[in-house]
Amino acid sequence: MKQFKNRTIVWLRNDLRIHNNEALLQAIATADEVLPIYCIDPRMFAETRWGFKRTGYFRAKFLLESLQDLRFRLRDMGGDLIVRSGKPEEIIFGLARYHEVRSVYVQEEVCTEEQAAEDTMIAALASIDRHLEFFWGSTLLHIDDLPFPIEDLPAVFSDFRKATEGKSGPRKSPATPKHFKLIPDIPPGDIPSLEDLGFEERPREKKAVFPFMGGETNALLRLKSYLWEDDLLKTYKETRNGLLGADYSTKLSPWLALGCISPTTIYEEIKKYEERVVKNKSTYWLVFELLWRDYFRFIAFKEGRKIFQRGGIKGKRNKSSTDQQLFEKWKNGETGVPFIDANMRELNATGFMSNRGRQNVASFLINDLKLDWRMGAAWFESMLIDYDPASNYGNWNYIAGIGIDPREGRYFNPVKQAKRYDPNGDYVKYWLPQLTRVPTKFVHSPHELTPSEQQYLGWMLDRDYYSPIV
């Protein structure tokens, strides 16, 4: 068999970091020359069946910022980030063949599209006696450390949590090297601009409550400020259902989604905080949320295509519509239901929405508008800067009653929710200074507003929280 040079390509996807990136760190430790590469896959920017791009402006912007930050960090180590546009299965195969690399390292993904690309890569590399080597790094718990095989993953989260809490726990983060050598004579390539990807540059939304910027550097800064400088972790459980402001939640999810920070790094910092400051329900709850994220990823790994199909994991065919006009009203925040519209306006203006808001707008699309849940999931995929397929589609399955929830579905009454989580109308007033109409009954829903709910909406009108358009 032909002996290849001691060179390794690291195929970067949703692991745009140096710290605790096992694929990258193992390549640096074992190879003489390393080639970290990210491919701008045109399939990410294709149009959905619903008529909009799979990756919208905010996601694209956050991605490009993350790539630029990673390039700077790798250059500080003597290397570089190679960027190419095209299908990675084709580009990386060509580089592996031409430069006679020994192997290609990659962080293993859990969803079907990414796995299909991996399978294509495996077959192509095998044709030239190279191989694709996988590393696990997207979850807090390593898949090999679970106390059960993935096919025996518990059907509900509480059973998963009970089976894993107090067991081996996360693996310790490896040390980060200071230097590595790049495979020579390979042009790094330009990181495309937003215009190159078909977007017009926008001024930053002045009403945005948090200045999200992609990259590992900003992820680590946010972790530091939230835990240590502003000391916000100790009240996380009490504030996590907030709607307005920068600090009701950690806001780490966009960086987690692209792998600019690993869940293990966050976990280790929480443990330091518990040792030095306080250990309480809030510190536990943030780990609890990381376990929920793990669970959705393991569910996606186990269930495959089911989470993307209309019937979901349960294979339940609910009656639903694909009425484009209703969908446009929901998408644009023009349903006439203030709490729903305010959340959608925030999403469309910033690429972010609170977890409380996501539950409500998803429930409204599914239960009140009776629309196909996949329409809403696709819009979230396009817009959310913290989109990742397992959490997004897993949560939509959950709300639709076709996923891991042992109940038939989750209904959120948006007026009751607003009364509880936005009692003074501050959030709605911030994002929705004008109201097109006050409903007495939700569109296409059997749910009538109770007298107290109508009174609440009227009270907000009287308080000038809304100015109806005549």
Q: What structural domains and CATH numbers belong to the chain?
A: 7-137 (3.40.50.620), 216-304 (1.25.40.80), 324-468 (1.10.579.10)
**Residue 240 tokens, joined:** 């996590």
Predicted confidence at residue 5, as pLDDT, reads: 80
**From CA 425, how far away is CA 459, in angstroms rounded?**
10
Predicted confidence at residue 468, as pLDDT, reads: 38
Structural element, H or E, at residue 11: strand 7-12
**Residue 455 tokens, joined:** 């009174």
Q: Report the pLDDT averaged over residues 7-35.
A: 97
Provide the pLDDT confidence category of residue 433 given band limits of 50, 70 and 90: confident
Determine how many CB atoms are found less than 10 A away from the CB of residue 279.
14
Angle between helices 216-224 and 263-276 in degrees, nearest 10 = 20
Say what the pTM is. 0.93
Q: Report the pLDDT averaged over residues 63-75.
A: 98
**pLDDT at residue 41 greater than cutoff 70:** yes
Pair 212, 254: CB distance under 8 Å: yes
Residues 6+ away with beta carbon under 8 Å from 438: 336, 457, 458, 461, 466, 468
Predicted confidence at residue 442, as pLDDT, reads: 61
In the block, residue with structure tokens 């925030």: 346
**pLDDT at residue 466 greater than cutoff 90:** no
Amino acid at 232: L
Find the range with the poorest average confidence among 23-32, 361-370, 374-383, 403-412. Answer: 403-412
Helices (H), 384-450: 389-400, 414-421, 426-431
Residues 6+ away with beta carbon under 8 Å from 397: 307, 312, 313, 373, 403, 404
Q: Report the pLDDT averaged over residues 379-394.
A: 97
The burial class, CB within 10 Å (0-12 / 13-18 / 19+), for 162 is exposed
**From CA 294, how far away is CA 279, in angstroms rounded?**
22
